[in-house]
Amino acid sequence: MPRLFGTDGVRGVANKELTPQLALKLGEAAARILGSSSQNHTRRRAIIGRDTRISGDFLSAALAAGMASGCVDVIDVGVLPTPGIAYLSSILNVDFAAVVSASHNPMQYNGIKFFQKGGYKLSDNTEDEIEALLDQEWERPINAFVGRISYDAASAQRLYIQHILDSVIQEAHEPLHGLHIVVDCANGATSHVAPEVLQRAGATVTVINAAPDGRNINDHAGTMHLETLQTITKAMKADLGVACDGDADRCLAVDHNGTIVNGDQIMGILARSFKNKGLLKNDTLVVTVMSNLGLKLALRDMGITTVQTAVGDRYVLEEMLKNDYSLGGEQSGHIINRYCATTGDGTLTALMLACEVAQSGKTLEELASAFPQLPQELINVRTKRKREAFTNTIIQEAVHAAEEQLGETGRVLLRPSGTEPLVRVMVEAVTDEQAHEVCQSLASIVEDALK
C-alpha cells in the first residue's frame, strides 16, 4: 500500500479518498501519538481549524470527534489560515493541532495535516506512527475521560492578526500609509485576515476574491490564477498586488504593471533586506531545488549564500532549524520567517513585502529587477521506471554533458513526480533557445532510456 501521508499531510477528493471515517481514525490515532498520555486517561488539549471549502465542515467534525474520543479536549477555531493554527499551537497550552485544508488545490479536494506542540509540522516518522495505528483496536476511554469540543473562532482570528502586525510593525504607526494594494484572498482562509492586516498597517486596500461560499476556493483566484490580480492592479494603478492561496500559507505578487513577482524574487527582496538589517543569520537563504539559478547568482553578488533542500517547505524548515538560518522558502511562495513563524505564511509575507516597498522608496518592479530569472524549460517524461533515471548510465552521462555545456550560467534538474509516473526534466540557461534545445534533447534521451 502507498504511504497515506504525502509531502503535506493526507490529501484526496473529499468524501471519496478522504472520508469522514478516515478523518475520525486520523483523529483517534493523532490523539494516541501526539497526546500520548491520553492513553493513561490524562486529558490533553488540541486546536483544530480549516479553510473555507464546503467539505471542511464534516471532515473537521469527524476529526474533532476522533480526537475527543481519545481523551483530548478540542478547541475548534473555525476558518483560519494554516499558519494561524500553527501560531496558536505555539502560544496556547495545547499538545498538538490539526488543519483541514487542501491548500491551493481545487474545491473538491481536502486534506488533513498536523502540527506538534510548538507549531512545527510532523516528522515522517511521527506520521508513520499515526498511520500504523489507523486500523488497530485500542482501549477507548469512557465516562468522564472522553474529551470535550469547544468553539472560539473570534478570539483565534484576533490573536493571529495581532501577531502578524506585531511581528513586522514595531511601533504604533502605519508604515504602509500612501500605498495602494490589491489583495486576492482566493476565497479562502485569509479572506477576513489579510485585508484587515494591510488596512491596519495603513494601506489603501482593494480586496478581490474574498467572498467564500464553500465552493469557490481557489476558483480562478489566488496564487494559482493571478490573471485577475494582474488586470485589476494595473487598471487601478495600484502600487502592487498580493495573492494568497486557499489556506494562505503562500504568497505571490504583481507589480504596478501587473508583472508577476514570484516566490524566488520575493525571497531575494526579503533576504537582501534582512541582510541590510543584520537579521539574515549566516548571510544565508534556504531554498529548494526548484528555485531559479538567477536568484542564486544575484544573491551571490550581494554576499548572500543559498542552501538547497528537497521540494517542500517542511524540508526548508528542517534545514533552517538544523543550521539556525532565519529565512527560507520556495518559488511557489511558501516563505518562512523563523523570527515569527514555524511555517510558510502568506499574509505575513504580503505585509513584509509591502513594508519593504514603502521603506525602500522603490517600486516593486525596481526591487524585483535585482533578481532576474533565467529562462527555464520543463518537460514531463511519462515512464513507469522513474526511479531508474538516477541510476541509468546513459541518462547520467547525458546530464553530465548538458551541465558541461551550460556551465555556471545554467543547470539541469531531474526529479521524479511524487504522485504520477513521470520524470520531470528541467533546464535553466542564459537564453530561451538554449534552455529549450538542451531540455528537449535530454528529455528525449530519458524517454528512450526508460521505455
Q: Is 36 a catalytic residue?
A: no
User: How many domains does the chain fold into?
Assistant: 3
d(CA 10, CA 112): 5
d(CA 63, CA 4): 16
User: In this predicted structure, what is the pLDDT of residue 39?
Assistant: 52
Check: CB of residue 104 under 8 Å from CB of residue 222.
Answer: yes
Check: CB of residue 58 under 8 Å from CB of residue 110.
Answer: no
Residue 238 and residue 354 in one domain: yes
Provide mean pLDDT across the span 397-423. 88
CATH number at residue 444: 3.30.310.50
Provide mean pLDDT across the span 44-66. 97
Provide mean pLDDT across the span 11-19. 96
pLDDT digits (tens, 9 = 90+) for 192-221: 999 999 999 999 999 999 999 999 999 999
Residue 204 and residue 314 in one domain: yes
d(CA 425, CA 171): 48
d(CA 348, CA 266): 12
Domain-embedded: residue 4: no
Judged by average pLDDT, the poorest of 160-164, 166-170, 236-240, 328-332 is 166-170
Domain-embedded: residue 3: no
pLDDT digits (tens, 9 = 90+) for 142-186: 899 899 999 999 999 999 999 999 999 987 689 999 999 999 999
Residue 204 and residue 123 in one domain: no
Domain-embedded: residue 1: no
Domain boundary among 127, 151, 175: 151
Domain-embedded: residue 5: no
User: In this predicted structure, what is the pLDDT of residue 8?
Assistant: 85
Range of the domain at 320: 160-368
Residue 240 and residue 353 in one domain: yes
Residue 348 and residue 284 in one domain: yes
d(CA 319, CA 307): 9
Q: Which residues contact 243 (CB under 8 A, 6 or more apart)?
A: 183, 184, 186, 221, 222, 223, 226, 229, 251, 252, 253, 254
Residue 341 and residue 429 in one domain: no
Residue 172 and residue 320 in one domain: yes
Confidence of residue 256 (pLDDT cuts 50, 70, 90): very high
The catalytically annotated residue of 101, 103, 191, 291 is 103
> Taking 90 as the threshold, does the pLDDT of residue 19 lie above it?
yes
Residue 238 and residue 91 in one domain: no
Domain-embedded: residue 165: yes
Q: Hey, which residues does 206 pair with through a beta bridge?
A: 182
Domain-embedded: residue 118: yes
User: In this predicted structure, what is the pLDDT of residue 191?
Assistant: 98
Domain boundary among 352, 368, 384: 368
pLDDT digits (tens, 9 = 90+) for 98-141: 999 999 999 999 999 999 999 999 999 999 999 999 989 898 88
Domain-embedded: residue 323: yes
Residue 201 and residue 131 in one domain: no
Provide mean pLDDT across the span 404-421. 86
CATH number at residue 129: 3.40.120.10
List alpha helices for 77-207, DSSP H. 82-91, 124-132, 153-168, 193-200
Confidence of residue 409 (pLDDT cuts 50, 70, 90): confident
> Taking 60 as the threshold, does the pLDDT of residue 404 lie above it?
yes
> Taking 70 as the threshold, does the pLDDT of residue 413 lie above it?
yes
Confidence of residue 7 (pLDDT cuts 50, 70, 90): confident
Domain boundary among 96, 124, 151: 151
Query: Pick from 334, 339, 331: which is nearest to 82 by CA?
Result: 334
Rounded to 5 degrees, φ, ψ at 184 are -105, 115
Residue 91 and residue 238 in one domain: no
Give the chain's end-to-end CA distance (angstroms, integer).
25
pLDDT digits (tens, 9 = 90+) for 386-398: 989 989 999 999 9
The helix/strand count (H/E) of the chain reads as 14, 19
Residue 359 and residue 393 in one domain: no
Scan for cell 500504523, then name that residue.
132
Mean pLDDT, the chain, as a whole number?
Answer: 94
Cβ-count burial of 302 within 10 angstroms (0-12 exposed, 13-18 middle, 19+ buried)?
Answer: middle
Residue 293 and residue 411 in one domain: no
Domain-embedded: residue 259: yes
